[in-house]
Amino acid sequence: MSTTTKEICMSDQRPEVVTDLALAENWGEVARLRNSLGSIRVRLHHLLGIRSQKVGRSYDYPHSLRTVAAMVEAKLPTMSQWEAPKAREVLDNIVTINDAIEAKYAEAAPLEREYDAKQWSRFFLVQNNNGHIHSSMSCSTCYFDTQFGWLPELSGLTEADAVEAHGAILCSVCFPSAPVEWTNGISHVAQAEKDARAAAKAKRDAAKAAKAITAPDGSPLKDDGGYTIKTEVTARREMSGALENALWYPQSGDKYRAYADRLAEAISAKTGEHAYDLIINAQNKAEKKFKREATA
Ligand SMILES: [Zn+2]
């Protein structure tokens, strides 16, 4: 029986992983609840008709959630009969959400205590391009708004395990003992993206090369006006056109046929077809077309 990835995860019940998976989930739920409080703060400002203001380079609302909630609470008695119940509902929601956050903290507390007692290794991946793996979310190299992704499945493991799982992208501040070559690499995800881009480019280049044409000596193939003919398709179209022109303008026939011969040589050098066959086939088609059009 084959073992699927999921079964490996299920059987990987190291206590550090179990604890940190639960904490990571808890942490995600708290973040979601905090976001809801952020939305309520905005709504309460709107209820009072207060607009956002420019703060630095972005916009924000002037009051904290606590302050704006108190302002709305104070205004409740003077609100209209349809506005007041809506405001009341939003204010009640704050209490509900805060209770939920407290409950999440209470759930997390024994898990946090377990970690405090044992202090196993932890790994956090910064969620941007070229993000590093850190040992905590309070690394001095990160900014307050850095987006961390917890890697709980690595909890309790070594720096080498983290490098194997995600690439040589350890933060040298968080992991001062890590060899330099574990800190200055590229993540597996970024490497895979890079490889995919390179493969796509190679495919495009190959397709371009398949269509491309040059003179038999490898130099650019020029038309009679001196413009470069880049593709085999164009060369064939030019060859047919030249042979048709030779029929329409017999006085310049030699010039057109010489041009068609030059193109046929280039196509032949590329495809291995005989230049003579190319000319004969194109000549036959040109004559049929000429007859059709000349008698039309
Ligand atoms: Zn760090």
Q: How many A from CA of 138 to the centre of ligand 1?
A: 8
DSSP E strand stretches across the chain: 53-55, 58-60, 124-126, 133-134, 148-150, 221-222, 228-229
Q: How many A from CA of 101 to the centre of ligand 1?
A: 28
Q: How many A from CA of 182 to the centre of ligand 1?
A: 13
Question: Residue 296: its pLDDT value, please?
Answer: 74
Question: Residue 1: its pLDDT value, please?
Answer: 41
Helix axes 232-248, 253-271, angle to 10 degrees: 160
Q: How many A from CA of 137 to the centre of ligand 1?
A: 8
Q: How many A from CA of 167 to the centre of ligand 1?
A: 15
Q: How many A from CA of 124 to the centre of ligand 1?
A: 9
SS3 assignment, position 96 = helix
**What are the backbone dihedrals phi and psi of residue 148, each rounded to the nearest 5 degrees, phi first?**
-100, 145
| Full-model pTM | 0.64
Question: Residue 215: its pLDDT value, please?
Answer: 95
Q: How many A from CA of 140 to the centre of ligand 1?
A: 7
Q: How many A from CA of 127 to the centre of ligand 1?
A: 13
Q: Provide the residue type at 200 as one letter.
A: A
Q: How many A from CA of 21 to the centre of ligand 1?
A: 21
Q: Provide the residue type at 271 as one letter.
A: T
**How many CB atoms are located within 10 Å of the residue 100 CB?**
15
Question: Residue 117: its pLDDT value, please?
Answer: 96
Q: How many A from CA of 194 to the centre of ligand 1?
A: 24
Question: Residue 12: its pLDDT value, please?
Answer: 59
Q: How many A from CA of 195 to the centre of ligand 1?
A: 27
Q: How many A from CA of 148 to the centre of ligand 1?
A: 11
Question: Residue 261: its pLDDT value, please?
Answer: 96
Block mean pLDDT (10 aa), the chain, length 296 = 47 84 94 95 95 88 96 95 93 97 97 95 87 91 83 95 95 94 92 94 94 95 94 96 95 96 96 95 94 85
Q: How many A from CA of 32 to the centre of ligand 1?
A: 25
Q: How many A from CA of 158 to the centre of ligand 1?
A: 15
Q: How many A from CA of 147 to the centre of ligand 1?
A: 13
Q: How many A from CA of 172 to the centre of ligand 1?
A: 7
Q: How many A from CA of 125 to the centre of ligand 1?
A: 10
Q: How many A from CA of 13 to the centre of ligand 1?
A: 27
Question: Residue 109: its pLDDT value, please?
Answer: 97
Q: Please check whether residue 41 is in contact with residue 68, taking contact to mean a CB–CB distance below 8 angstroms.
A: yes
Q: How many A from CA of 26 to the centre of ligand 1?
A: 23
Per-residue b/e over 239-268, b at no fewer than 16 CB within 10 Å?
Answer: bbbbbbbbbeeeeeeeebbebbbbbbbbbb
